[in-house]
Each structure stands twice: as structure tokens, then as C-alpha cells.
Amino acid sequence: MVFADRHGASLAERLRGAGVVWIETDDTGNSLRSYIDHPKDWLVHLIVRSRMFRAALKRAATQWSAQRATGGAFGMLSEPLSGLVLIPLRSHSSDAGARAYGVAVLVLDEALTSGTLRLLCEGAELDSTFIASHLTAEGMPTRREVVRLHAFVRALAACDAERVDGNACGEQLSTAWEELHLLHSLIGGLEMSSGPRGVLTKACEELGATLQSGWTGAWIADARGGEGTAVVSGSISPNALRAYVARLGKSSAGIFGSDARANASRGTVAAAPIFQRGRCIGWIATGDRKVGDREMSSVELKLVVSVAGHAAIFLENARLFADLDDAFVGTLAALVNAIDAKDPYTRGHSQRVAALARDLAIKHGTSAEEARLVHVAGLVHDIGKIGVSEAILLKPGKLTPEERVAINEHPEIGYRILKDVPQLAGVLGGVRHHHERWDGTGYGHGLAGTDIPISARMIALADTFDAMCSSRTYRKGRPISETLSEMGKQGGTQFDPVLLRQFLTLDLTGYSEMLAAGVKEAMAGDADSSQETRRAA
């Protein structure tokens, strides 16, 4: 996207040259005017005439007014419809005395497939096929371009509003680029699964590096009334940060005096609250700049406020992701527990295998997300047994060749059960191949060595270990030390030798507690069964 560079062109005309529509609205979402009113400008007409757009604008304006009233970061992107992005760029009093906003409107390429363009066209009584062809020919912005367009549009709006000269405008564009680079680094380094601490750590590191601050810290309140989560970077301790933000209380974002207790005795501090749903849940602060006069200015504060706003979004997304993941894993756990409970002696087996495999993944140095997937794979590794006859699963003696073939099918059955669940794509290898052997003599597909997915190799170790340590109706479980000694002889034959060495060094305290709890449940189950038998007799 290239902005039009015609001499004397208005802001709206320059934005229109980039495929952006600029309108003005009051704080109730009533459109006051569009800055380009050409009868042949179909994109402007699509925006301002659509009933669907006007309804979306009203919702967005209500949110912006709430943000301004509570001291939140104004200017955050809003996407009321998929592929329709609104950017509020400045707030001022209109001719009628009401609060007015200038709004840049982006129609992204995904609006073509999401149904948004069709809804807009229907509301504006325009031909959606005609509009789609023109949008495609003109070149629609993609989601990857939104952050860059946001920064440059804001810079152009600031230049236009303040009538600054070329040098000042260049400085503002430079600042916008700095903010863009910071937010790009921050957003690019975060994942939904980062968790609150990961989000705050990344925010502090990027903000401190950009501003060349001596220290940067973020604090999030504890909903249960505890001391909260404090993440720091540079010359400040978590306790000093807590003391500093406690002094800020319910202040709005601003530049504050330094605090010797925060190891920020030189220069000033830029700090901004982190808001969620209109409530302050924490702060981001930075101080002791290593350049210039060490003082923070409105430029630095603007970056802090922007980071606080984006951190709030990521924290909320991380919370929702964690809740969803917990619910998902909890559902899987309930399912596998029902399968394990068919036999009192296998009760808790999948939970123990999952915990051991996850601990091994962490010991091996995998990422947190990879360790999570190994844990889930361990949890559902035997789910295919739901397709195996209960008579075979509970048979106390030796299996016949036909029965052995049937039970050896459970990894493939498990794979077929799970393969159509998108969220479980990363665990399929562990489920399908956890009975392969390093030397290629296992069952499933006869894989060997590193052809076996590493998650399956980890689960194989955990599965074998728990099977040997657990009691059955026909034998007593082996002691942990004896099991480890026996498994230690199987490196390079049954097990991956590197993973085996790491497994032998795991802390098994937690496992021992889980195993003891499983034994108690099995004994209780036997007692219940005996009572039922006596009552039946």
C-alpha cells in the first residue's frame, strides 16, 4: 500500500489513495460526515450507506467513549465485523459541541470470504459482485498490514491536525515507526499459550530495549487478594516494583517522579495502567533512561500506554486460552479415566503416564508448548482401548494369538478416533506409535530409531515404567528401583538411549504419590466389588 503523494491533498484524499476511508462520528456512533463525497466513489458509499456498518460504528463508538472515561488507552483497533477494522485517530469537540472522532476504516481481504462484504453491500443496496471485483482489482490490505497501516495513518493524522512543518512531521513518522517496530516485536514474540508471565516478560524486555531504560517492570493484581505477579527487567526488584505501583494507586497514565526504593533515583518514570473490562488490573512502568537527560517525555509515555493496551489484550486472550485448554484437557481426562476405570488396577494409569512423559519432555529441553502436547498425548495414548473387547482387557492370564492381535490394534484405533479433531493434530504421532521399539521390532508400523516420533518414544518409556510398577490381578508391581534397573538395560533396543538416560534421572516423588493414590483406589474398588458379590449371593 502506497500513500498518495499529491501536493496539497487532504488527509482524507491521501488515505483514500491507500484504500482507507476516513469519516467523522460522534461518541454515540452517529456519522457526522465523510471527507470524500464523490458520487462515483463506491467504497465510500459502501461504508457510509450501509446499515450494517452504521450499527457496527455505534458499538465501536460506545467502547471508545468507555475507554476514554476510564482512562484506558484511546486509539485501539476495533473489529466489529470480521475483516472490517476501525481506527479512532483523534478526539475533539465537533461544531455542535459533542465529542467527535476521526475514524479510519479498513476493509481487509478476508471480508470477501467471511461474509462481511456481502452484509455491507446488502445494507448499502450495492451489488456485492461488482464491489468485490473492484476491491480485488484495487488491492485490499491484509491482516499482516494492519499494524503498519495503523501506525502510519496515526502519524499522518497527527501531521494534518497540528499543521506541523516537514521536519516535525518527519519526527512524528519516526516515532510512529519506533512504536510500530516495538509492537511488531512484541506481538510477533507472543503466543496465545504464553501465559501471563510470558506476556509480561516479553512486554518488559521489548519496552526496556526500545526506550533504553535502566529498568522496566509490570505488575498484575491477584484476583484472590495476594501480592500479585511482578515481572521485572533491569535494576529493580519485584518487591521494589510492587512498592512503586502501590504509590501510583488509581492514577492515570503519566510521567511520575522517581523512587529511590525502586532503584530509579535518576530521571522520571513513565507508567500506564493495564485495563480489562474497564477495571485496572495492573501497571507497566519504566525509568532511569540511559540516554539524554534521563527524563521521560510524552513520546516515551505514548509507547508505554500502547504496550499496556496490547498487553491487556494478550493477557485476556491468554486467560481465555488457559481456561479453554483446561476445559479441553479436563474433558479428555474424564474420558480416559472412564476407560482406565474398567480395571481397578489400571485406574490412574493414563494420568501417571502423561505426567511422566511431560516431565521427560521438560528434562529433554522441549518448549512449554511441546511439553504440553506430550502431556496430552500421554493422557490419551490408550484411548484406542475403547474399541477392544473388555473381556480381553480384563483377562488375567496369557492372551491367545488372536487376542494379542486385537489388543495390538489399540494404537491405530486411537489414531482413527482422534485424527479428525483439529486440536489434537499434535498428539497423533504419540498415540499411534507409542508401542514401537527403537530397534524396529515393536508393533504398529515397525518404525525404528528417530523415525519414531519423539513424543511416542517418551510415552513408551513412561508407559513401560508405569506398567512395571503397577500391580495387576496376576502379579504385584515391582519396586521403582528394580524397574529403573531393568529398563536401564534396554537402551538402544527397546528405548531411545538418550531419552532413557534422561528418564532414569527424573524426580519420581510426584509419581510415587500418584501411584500410592491409585493403589488405594484399586483396593477400595476391590472392597466394593466384594460387598456387591456378597449381597448378590
Which residue would you say has higher pLDDT here, 1 or 204? 204
- Is residue 130 included in any domain, yes or no? yes
**Is 526's pLDDT higher than 90?**
no
- Is residue 60 included in any domain, yes or no? yes
115 and 22 in a common domain: yes
CB neighbours of 195 closer than 8 A, spacing ≥ 6?
A: 318, 322
459 and 414 in a common domain: yes
Tell me the C-alpha distance between 356 and 459, whole Å.
Answer: 8
The band of 265, judged by pLDDT with boundaries at 50, 70 and 90, is: very low
The band of 493, judged by pLDDT with boundaries at 50, 70 and 90, is: very high
The band of 529, judged by pLDDT with boundaries at 50, 70 and 90, is: very low
Helix, strand, coil share of the chain (percent; to 5): 55, 15, 30
Output the pLDDT for position 474: 67
527 and 393 in a common domain: yes
- Is residue 394 included in any domain, yes or no? yes
475 and 529 in a common domain: yes
The band of 8, judged by pLDDT with boundaries at 50, 70 and 90, is: very low
The band of 3, judged by pLDDT with boundaries at 50, 70 and 90, is: very low
The region of weakest confidence among 25-34, 124-133, 492-501 is 25-34
Output the pLDDT for position 359: 96
Query: 458, 403, 451: which is closest to 430 by C-alpha?
Result: 458
String of b and e for 259-275 (b: at least 16 CB within 10 Å)? beebbbeebbbbbbbbb
359 and 266 in a common domain: no
Task: Among 266, 285, 318, give the residue marking a domain's end.
Answer: 318
Q: Which amino acid is present at 449? A: G
For residues 492-510, give the mean pLDDT.
96
**Is 509's pLDDT higher than 90?**
yes
Residue 490's domain spans which residues? 341-536
Average pLDDT value over all residues in the chain: 78
Tell me the C-alpha distance between 304 and 255, whole Å.
Answer: 10
String of b and e for 115-131 (b: at least 16 CB within 10 Å)? ebbbbbbebbebebeeb
Tell me the C-alpha distance between 294 and 281, whole Å.
Answer: 28
Output the pLDDT for position 106: 87
**Is 207's pLDDT higher than 70?**
yes
Give the Cβ contact number of residue 401 at 10 Å: 7
CB neighbours of 174 closer than 8 A, spacing ≥ 6?
A: none
- Is residue 6 included in any domain, yes or no? no
Tell me the Ramachandran region of residue 446: left when phi exceeds 0, alpha when psi lies from -120 to 50, beta otherwise. Answer: left
What pTM did the predictor assign?
0.51
**Is 495's pLDDT higher than 90?**
yes
The band of 7, judged by pLDDT with boundaries at 50, 70 and 90, is: very low
130 and 82 in a common domain: yes
The band of 393, judged by pLDDT with boundaries at 50, 70 and 90, is: confident
Output the pLDDT for position 340: 67
Considering 32-46, 314-328, 350-364, 385-399, the range whose residues carry the highest mean pLDDT is: 350-364
Task: Among 107, 128, 163, give the residue marking a domain's end.
Answer: 163
Considering 127-141, 146-160, 201-215, 431-445, the range whose residues carry the highest mean pLDDT is: 431-445
Q: 433 is written with which cell numbers?
A: 506409535
Output the pLDDT for position 31: 61
Output the pLDDT for position 166: 47
Query: 261, 256, 264: which is closest to 215 by C-alpha?
Result: 264
> Percent of the chain beyond pLDDT 70?
77
- Is residue 122 included in any domain, yes or no? yes
For residues 411-437, give the mean pLDDT.
92
The band of 504, judged by pLDDT with boundaries at 50, 70 and 90, is: very high
114 and 257 in a common domain: no
CATH code at position 287 = 3.30.450.40
Q: 208 is written with which cell numbers?
A: 526496556
* Under 8 Å between Cβ of 467 and 492: no
The beta-carbon contacts of 144-148 under 8 Å, at least 24 apart in sequence, are 145/1, 146/77, 146/85, 146/106, 146/108, 147/180, 147/183, 147/184, 147/187, 148/180
* Under 8 Å between Cβ of 60 and 78: yes
CB neighbours of 412 closer than 8 A, spacing ≥ 6?
A: 384, 432, 444
Q: 101 is written with which cell numbers?
A: 472522532
The region of weakest confidence among 163-172, 228-237, 492-501 is 163-172
Task: Among 260, 287, 318, give the residue marking a domain's end.
Answer: 318
Output the pLDDT for position 437: 97
Beta-ladder partners of 93: 99
Considering 6-15, 164-173, 220-229, 302-311, the range whose residues carry the highest mean pLDDT is: 302-311
Each residue's pLDDT tens digit, 292-305 = 666 787 778 888 88
The band of 405, judged by pLDDT with boundaries at 50, 70 and 90, is: very high
209 and 118 in a common domain: no
425 and 306 in a common domain: no
Output the pLDDT for position 212: 83
Output the pLDDT for position 521: 59
Considering 12-26, 77-91, 191-205, 417-431, the range whose residues carry the highest mean pLDDT is: 417-431
71 and 17 in a common domain: yes
93 and 46 in a common domain: yes
> Percent of the chain beyond pLDDT 90?
22
Output the pLDDT for position 451: 97
Output the pLDDT for position 168: 46
- Is residue 325 included in any domain, yes or no? no
The region of weakest confidence among 97-101, 247-251, 513-517 is 97-101
CATH code at position 474 = 1.10.3210.10
303 and 385 in a common domain: no
- Is residue 176 included in any domain, yes or no? no
Tell me the C-alpha distance between 339 and 347, whole Å.
Answer: 8
Each residue's pLDDT tens digit, 210-254 = 888 888 989 888 877 777 888 888 888 888 888 888 888 777 888
Output the pLDDT for position 363: 96
Output the pLDDT for position 463: 95
- Is residue 173 included in any domain, yes or no? no
DSSP E strands: which ranges in 94-179? 99-107
Output the pLDDT for position 531: 44
Structurally, how many domains does the chain consist of?
3
